[in-house]
């Protein structure tokens, strides 16, 4: 397949020349240059864009005008993003690369006199209510009132204009300042006091209602207003991003905003937002994994020929054994014991691993789980007969009795307790999974306990959420422990966790 | 070659006329699929209108819908074609001893003994068709390979007959519930469309379009409540089909204003898991002040 040159000449907007790489060939329209930079950035962000997909995207944009920004975005998305969990990352890059495209999206004031790169754009055109200009004369009170009204009526165009105005007034953005978008966002939001606005909207709704709002109605009103406020926030964020792009250029901004994909987020350093994404990702992931494992078990191996069954079926073919039937062997399912450090920095890792293991517990003849910090507690009971694994994991974190002396990890002591109380349950069918960073706070390692364990158990695996480069530095003694394990694995993210669990079955 | 659609908005409007409410993404990608001559792989939560989209697009393009429902164990003989060996056996028996084997063999692998299955049928069709490969994620990975030739070349190779190529490029939809990751090779060949739960307005429109006897007010309430429920942390969020079932039930019961009581009484139509139901009921019955407190 060849990539046809787009025939349509794309209208240009303000910042175009600034981002066109110097070495771009002459036949290419600037749009194609922008697009190839865009795709390079997607790859940098970890999205697997193949050559075919690259070409498809180039063809797609010849059919959808860039002015229709949403359609344009979906067209690119459809050709370049084939995994929904990558959509967020795609959107961020899209915003950076294409936020300055299309009339509606030109900046009003900021671009003027913005250094050598940008030419001044058409002033204030296309933005509703005159964009920044018309509103700049308002007092803060008048502005707040307009905001309230726009939110009350769900007036999208007005909200967008107000978002711009708010950023211009409150964000305090200055060209060349080395601060991130979150700082500006924070400043803008602080001035708008959106929590107060929400309460104001609720009061207004209560007043307007003919009778008292029922709890249900309250709830619905609140959700509706929160939704509108959320949209406003997004407009504000987008506006800040546009201005940052204008100031710093596309590539620099893309680099600043680059975030790992959910499956690559480090358990130990996830931000709150990333943690929320991880939590969302875990459910579909376990479901996929479960389905895959069940299938593997059923189909992976063909058993011996089932003679009788074959003959029975051959009757319908006049005695010709046309359809050989096989017996499916049932390989013995392993028995799992998870022993997890749940102290501070590794807690998230333990949670996700427990979640995953229990989600596929059908693959094992038995799963028991133990958590520790310096003391150890069996937590199998939290998972018994529950529908909601997430809930059970939450209880483990809040209710398990894991502190012995001071609540700093003591692997040696925890292993001691484990061995003394549960060692007799470890047998030749047991696979033990130990989770933790093996940072032992310079306590005694007691690694002979692991040696004993390895003798009795079928397999002992160690899963460490730290990057391999940090192993055995400082108080980490994973090397010493791993001499008594069948395998020691770096498991820093969902991708690695999934790979390990799949191997385990 | 003539295209099926004028522009993106045209797609959206025709679909709306056929009672399918599309957003910009859906309409844009259907339009693009027509322009690029590429299949669409549709993913998304259960019951968000993936299958319906293919059916509705067939309707508005006047195409005959050919559907391959995938399941575990589906193989070539059910998806593509099969030789009718019973008939072949009869043919061999009938031929007696006098005719030569090579003659019989030629005869055996001719049209007459070919059983056409959906994929081949779509390729050979003379009339306008739309091919729907439903729930493709249920296929085993190896079987998925069967689709590749069709999806990129719109042709099928039959060793005994040669290559059968399509005379027209049909629209092709594949749906998946993402129970497993599809192969890169498959994804590369398709445009990707993720249909999520609809936003408030679209869901309201869907309810209005699909539920006889529902008024605008009730549709609005239903859509709002469903949106709020979807914000809870649930095992399984209500799908569009469940929204529709719920709206139908409310209409049947003659309820035109949903309050906490009627919501609680009927919520089992929206939610399937006990824990989810409990969560929702609790949310709706509690005093708002409590909600503000634990909503943080
Ligand atoms: N956008 C829409 N417009 C009109 N009806 C819709 C829309 N989306 C969903 N529906 C209705 O919702 C129901 C479920 O749709 P459908 O069966 O196509 O879902 P699905 O995504 O294929 O689900 P599954 O994953 O379970 O196969 C159908 O009755 C369909 O008509
Ligand atoms: Mg379906």
- Are A365 and A395 contained in the same domain? yes
Separation in Å, CA of B184 to nearest CA in chain A: 9
- Are A243 and A351 contained in the same domain? no
**Residue B76 Cα to ligand 1 middle (Å):** 28
Separation in Å, CA of B43 to nearest CA in chain A: 8
DSSP at A24: -
Partners of A48 on chain B (C-beta within 8 Å) are 184
Residue A81 within a domain: yes
- Are A57 and A150 contained in the same domain? no
Our count of domains for chain A comes to 3
Q: Flag whether residue A224 sits within 8 Å of chain B, measured between CB atoms.
A: yes
Please give the residue range of the domain that contains residue A151: 107-206+214-249
- Are A347 and A480 contained in the same domain? yes
User: Which domain CATH number covers A400?
Assistant: 3.40.50.410
- Are A84 and A112 contained in the same domain? no
- Are A443 and A348 contained in the same domain? yes
Which of A99, A111, A123 is CA-nearest to residue A168? A111
Structure-block tokens of residue A206: 């209560």
Inter-residue contact A377 to A402 (CB < 8 Å): yes
Q: Flag whether residue A48 sits within 8 Å of chain B, measured between CB atoms.
A: yes
Centroid of chain to Cα A340: 24
Q: Which 3 state secondary structure label does DSSP give B172?
A: strand
Q: Which of A67, A97, A127 is the C-terminal boundary of a domain?
A: A97
- Are A174 and A221 contained in the same domain? yes
Residue A130 within a domain: yes
Please report the ipTM that was assigned to this predicted complex: 0.87
- Are A485 and A356 contained in the same domain? yes
**Residue A301 Cα to ligand 1 middle (Å):** 37
Task: Inspect the interface and report whether the beta carbons of B28 and A70 lie closer than 8 Å.
Answer: yes
Partners of A83 on chain B (C-beta within 8 Å) are 181
Q: Which of A97, A123, A158 is the C-terminal boundary of a domain?
A: A97
Inter-residue contact A414 to A383 (CB < 8 Å): no
Q: Which 3 state secondary structure label does DSSP give A386?
A: coil
Task: Inspect the interface and report whether the beta carbons of A78 and B188 lie closer than 8 Å.
Answer: no
- Are A65 and A202 contained in the same domain? no
> Mutating which of B179, B221, B285 best tests the A interface, going by the most A Cβ atoms within 10 A?
B179
Partners of B44 on chain A (C-beta within 8 Å) are 84
Residue A282 within a domain: no
Residue A59 within a domain: yes
C-alpha–C-alpha distance, residues B250 and B223, integer Å: 13
Atom of ligand 1 nearest to the CA of B134: 27
Inter-residue contact A296 to A272 (CB < 8 Å): no
Structure-block tokens of residue B35: 């322009």
- Are A68 and A192 contained in the same domain? no
- Are A147 and A227 contained in the same domain? yes
Separation in Å, CA of A435 to nearest CA in chain B: 27
Residues with CB under 6 A from ligand 1: B 19-21, 46-52, 175, 177, 206, 209-210, 240-241, 244
Q: Which of A36, A69, A97 is the C-terminal boundary of a domain?
A: A97
Residue A9 within a domain: no
Nearest to B228 among A214, A220, A288 (CB): A220
Partners of A223 on chain B (C-beta within 8 Å) are 224, 227-228, 231
Separation in Å, CA of A298 to nearest CA in chain B: 11
The angle formed by the CA atoms of residues B1, B3 and B6, to the nearest 5 degrees, is 145
Q: Flag whether residue A284 sits within 8 Å of chain B, measured between CB atoms.
A: yes
Structure-block tokens of residue B131: 């091919």
- Are A57 and A168 contained in the same domain? no
DSSP at B136: G
> What is the full per-residue pLDDT of chain A (505 aa) written as tens digits?
444 444 433 443 333 333 334 333 333 447 888 898 899 999 988 899 999 999 999 999 999 888 888 889 999 999 999 998 899 889 989 988 887 654 444 455 443 333 333 334 344 444 444 444 567 788 888 999 999 999 999 898 999 999 999 999 998 888 777 777 778 888 899 899 899 999 999 999 999 888 888 888 888 999 999 999 999 999 999 899 888 888 888 888 888 777 778 888 888 878 777 888 888 778 777 777 777 777 766 655 455 666 666 666 666 655 555 666 666 555 567 788 999 888 877 888 888 888 888 887 877 888 899 988 888 889 888 888 777 777 788 877 777 777 776 678 889 999 999 999 999 999 998 999 999 999 988 888 888 899 999 999 999 999 999 888 889 988 899 999 999 999 999 999 888 988 888 887 7
Residue A127 within a domain: yes
Minimum CA distance residue for ligand 1 atom 23? B47
């Amino acid at each position: 397949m060849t990539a046809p040159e787009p025939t349509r000449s794309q209208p240009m907007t303000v910042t175009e020349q600034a981002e066109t790489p110097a070495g771009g060939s002459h036949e290419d329209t600037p749009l194609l240059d922008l697009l190839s930079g865009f795709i390079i950035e997607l790859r940098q962000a970890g999205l697997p864009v193949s050559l075919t997909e690259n070409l498809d995207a180039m063809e797609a944009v010849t059919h959808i005008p860039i002015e229709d920004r949403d359609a344009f975005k979906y067209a690119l998305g459809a050709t370049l993003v084939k995994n929904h969990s990558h959509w967020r990352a795609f959107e961020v890059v899209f915003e950076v690369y294409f936020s300055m495209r299309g009339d509606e999206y030109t900046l009003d004031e900021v671009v003027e006199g913005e250094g050598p790169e940008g030419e001044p754009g058409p002033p204030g055109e296309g933005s509703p209510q005159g964009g920044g200009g018309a509103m700049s004369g308002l007092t803060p009170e008048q502005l707040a009132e307009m905001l309230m009204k726009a939110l009350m009526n769900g007036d999208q165009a007005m909200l967008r204009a107000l978002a711009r105005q708010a950023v211009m007034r409150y964000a305090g953005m200055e060209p060349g300042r080395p601060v991130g978008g979150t700082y500006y966002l924070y400043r803008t939001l602080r001035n708008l006091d959106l929590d107060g606005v929400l309460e104001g909207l609720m009061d207004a709704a209560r007043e307007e209602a003919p009778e008292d709002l029922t709890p249900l109605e309250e709830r619905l009103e609140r959700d509706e207003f929160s939704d509108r406020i959320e949209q406003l926030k997004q407009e504000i964020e987008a506006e800040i991003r546009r201005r940052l792009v204008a100031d710093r250029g596309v590539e620099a901004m893309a680099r600043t905003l680059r975030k790992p994909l959910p499956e690559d987020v480090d358990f130990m350093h996830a931000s709150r937002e990333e943690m929320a994404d991880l939590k969302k990702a875990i459910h579909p992931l376990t479901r996929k994994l479960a389905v895959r494992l069940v299938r593997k078990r059923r189909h992976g191996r063909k058993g011996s020929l089932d003679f009788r069954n074959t003959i029975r079926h051959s009757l319908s073919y006049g005695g010709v054994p046309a359809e050989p039937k096989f017996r499916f062997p049932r390989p013995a399912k392993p028995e799992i014991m998870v022993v997890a450090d749940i102290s501070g920095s590794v807690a998230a890792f333990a949670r996700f691993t427990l979640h995953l293991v229990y989600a596929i517990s059908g693959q094992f003849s038995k799963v028991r789980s133990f958590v520790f910090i310096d003391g150890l507690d069996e937590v199998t009971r939290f998972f018994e007969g529950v529908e909601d694994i997430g809930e059970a994991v939450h209880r483990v974190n809040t209710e398990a009795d894991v502190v012995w002396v001071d609540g700093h990890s003591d692997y040696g002591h925890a292993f001691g307790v484990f061995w003394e109380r549960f060692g007799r349950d470890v047998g030749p069918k047991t696979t033990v999974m130990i989770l933790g960073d093996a940072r032992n706070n310079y306590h005694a390692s007691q690694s002979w306990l692991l040696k004993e364990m390895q003798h009795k158990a079928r397999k002992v695996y160690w899963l460490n959420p730290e990057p391999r480069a940090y192993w055995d530095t400082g108080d980490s003694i994973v090397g010493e422990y791993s001499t008594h394990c069948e395998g020691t694995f770096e498991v820093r993210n969902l991708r690695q966790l999934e790979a390990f669990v799949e191997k385990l079955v | 070659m003539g295209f099926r659609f004028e522009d993106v908005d045209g797609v959206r409007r025709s679909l709306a006329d056929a009672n399918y409410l599309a957003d910009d993404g859906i309409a844009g990608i259907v339009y693009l699929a027509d322009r690029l001559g590429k299949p669409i792989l549709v993913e998304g939560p259960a019951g968000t209108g993936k299958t319906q989209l293919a059916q509705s697009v067939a309707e508005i393009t006047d195409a005959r819908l050919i559907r391959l429902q995938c399941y575990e164990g589906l193989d070539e003989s059910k998806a593509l074609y099969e030789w009718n060996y019973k008939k072949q056996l009869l043919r061999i028996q009938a031929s007696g001893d006098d005719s030569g084997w090579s003659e019989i063999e030629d005869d055996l692998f001719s049209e007459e003994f070919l059983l056409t299955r959906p994929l081949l049928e779509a390729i050979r069709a003379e009339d306008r068709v739309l091919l729907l490969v439903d729930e493709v994620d249920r296929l085993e990975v190896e079987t998925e390979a069967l689709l590749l030739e069709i999806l990129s070349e719109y042709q099928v190779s039959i060793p005994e007959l040669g290559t059968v190529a399509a005379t027209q490029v049909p629209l092709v939809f594949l749906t998946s519930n993402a129970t497993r990751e599809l192969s890169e090779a498959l994804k590369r060949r398709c445009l990707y469309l993720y249909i999520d739960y609809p936003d408030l307005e679209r869901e309201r429109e869907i309810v209005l379009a699909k539920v006889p006897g529902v008024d605008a007010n009730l549709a609005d309430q239903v859509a709002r409540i469903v949106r709020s429920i979807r914000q809870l942390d649930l095992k399984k969020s209500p799908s569009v089909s469940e929204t529709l079932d719920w709206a139908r039930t409310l209409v049947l019961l003659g309820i035109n204003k949903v309050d906490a009581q009627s919501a609680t009484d009927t919520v089992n139509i929206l939610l399937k898991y006990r824990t989810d139901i409990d969560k929702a009921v609790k949310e709706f019955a509690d005093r708002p002040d409590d909600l503000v407190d634990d909503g943080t």
